[in-house]
């Protein structure tokens, strides 16, 4: 199926690794020109070079700490006119109410929760002026299946789900679609970090983390590519009547 994405300009945050990197690869394969943003310039350069080698598309990189409002504004200005924003940057640490201190909670939300909202706000006016655009938020299934042991992540994700659904109800009058994906367990470096934490607590040995996969649907986590393929469809004109919607990809968990 031709997703009709060739020539679209896409900004992906957290685009140097994991789901963001996989989304960049799939969208490049569909002919999109990319702007990848993340904190680590070297990781960005590596990702961009690999994508350019495989696909005949333009790939720009912008190193930025998106937990800071001025960096978000600067990123939107530098990116210029874009057709699609994929909000993906952010990693909220595990822990219950007493384990996550205020500073850690605020730093994590500054990047993921306020970072998503601020960047959406920054790019919205130029999309509204053209009466066209898509904002897709990659959030997380913990916002639906609330986990007291991941309280900052569950509550932050739940707020972003509400933000996505609420904005997606009104954005259509401006020709903009806003929607999101809630990945479940996905085989990224962050997944391994969280799995090691669980294994240490449940089994007393972080190195036994892969044993936790046995209880998952299909006895494995999802792959970043399985999320990325859904990203490509949802942001494409083939999904042009989808807004204010969340897609959960967790194998049925």
The CATH classification of domain 9-185+224-249, taken from the options 3.30.70.520, 1.10.357.10, 3.30.70.100, 3.40.50.720:
3.40.50.720
Q: What is the pLDDT of residues 176-214, one digit of tens each?
A: 999 999 999 898 887 888 788 888 888 899 899 888 888
User: What is the dihedral sign for C-alpha 42, 45, 51, 52?
Assistant: negative
Q: What is the pLDDT of residues 50-76, one digit of tens each?
A: 999 999 899 999 999 999 999 999 999
Q: Which residues of 17-30 are buried (b: 16+ CB within 10 A; e: fewer)?
A: bbbbbbbbbbbbbb
pLDDT of residue 188: 87
Q: Is the pLDDT of residue 152 over 90?
A: yes
Specify whether the CB–CB gap between 153 and 127 falls below 8 A: no
pLDDT of residue 36: 98
The pLDDT confidence band at residue 218, using thresholds 50, 70 and 90, is very high
Phi, psi of 87 (to 5 degrees): -80, 115
d(CA 133, CA 82): 8
Q: What is the pLDDT of residues 33-42, one digit of tens each?
A: 999 999 999 9
Specify whether the CB–CB gap between 218 and 186 falls below 8 A: no
Written in H, E and C, the secondary structure of 47-81 is HHHHHHHHCCCCEEEEECCCCCHHHHHHHHHHHCC
Q: Is the pLDDT of residue 1 over 90?
A: no
Among 7-11, 75-79, 206-210, the minimum mean pLDDT is found in 206-210
**Over residues 18-25, mean pLDDT:** 97
d(CA 142, CA 189): 17
Q: What is the pLDDT of residues 84-137, one digit of tens each?
A: 999 999 989 889 999 999 999 999 999 999 999 999 999 999 999 999 999 999
- Domain residue ranges of the chain, discontinuous segments joined by +: 9-185+224-249, 187-221
pLDDT of residue 216: 86
Share of the chain above pLDDT 90, in %: 85
Among 85-89, 91-95, 158-162, 169-173, the minimum mean pLDDT is found in 91-95
pLDDT of residue 189: 83
Specify whether the CB–CB gap between 245 and 14 falls below 8 A: no
Q: What is the mean pLDDT of the chain?
A: 95
């Amino acid at each position: 199926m031709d997703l009709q994405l060739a020539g679209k300009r896409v900004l992906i945050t957290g685009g140097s690794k994991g789901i963001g990197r996989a989304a960049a690869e799939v969208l490049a394969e569909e002919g999109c020109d990319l702007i990848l943003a993340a904190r680590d310039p070297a990781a960005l350069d590596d990702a961009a070079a690999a994508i350019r080698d495989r696909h005949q598309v333009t790939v720009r990189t912008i190193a930025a700490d998106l937990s800071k409002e001025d960096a978000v504004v600067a990123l939107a200005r530098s990116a210029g006119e874009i057709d699609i924003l994929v909000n993906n940057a952010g990693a909220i640490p595990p822990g219950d109410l007493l384990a996550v201190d205020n500073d850690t909670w605020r730093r994590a939300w500054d990047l993921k929760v306020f970072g998503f909202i601020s960047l959406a706000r920054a790019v919205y006016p130029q999309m509204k002026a053209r009466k066209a655009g898509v904002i897709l938020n990659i959030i997380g299934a913990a916002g639906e299946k609330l986990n007291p042991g991941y309280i900052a992540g569950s509550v932050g994700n739940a707020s972003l789900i509400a933000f996505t659904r609420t904005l997606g109800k009104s954005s259509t009058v401006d020709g903009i679609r806003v929607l999101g994906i809630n990945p479940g367990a996905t085989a990224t470096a962050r997944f391994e970090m969280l799995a090691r934490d669980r294994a240490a607590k449940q089994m007393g040995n972080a190195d036994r983390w892969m044993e936790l996969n046995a209880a998952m649907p299909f006895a494995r986590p999802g792959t970043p590519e399985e999320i990325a393929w859904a990203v490509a469809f949802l942001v494409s004109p083939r999904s042009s009547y989808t807004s204010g919607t969340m897609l959960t990809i967790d194998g049925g968990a």
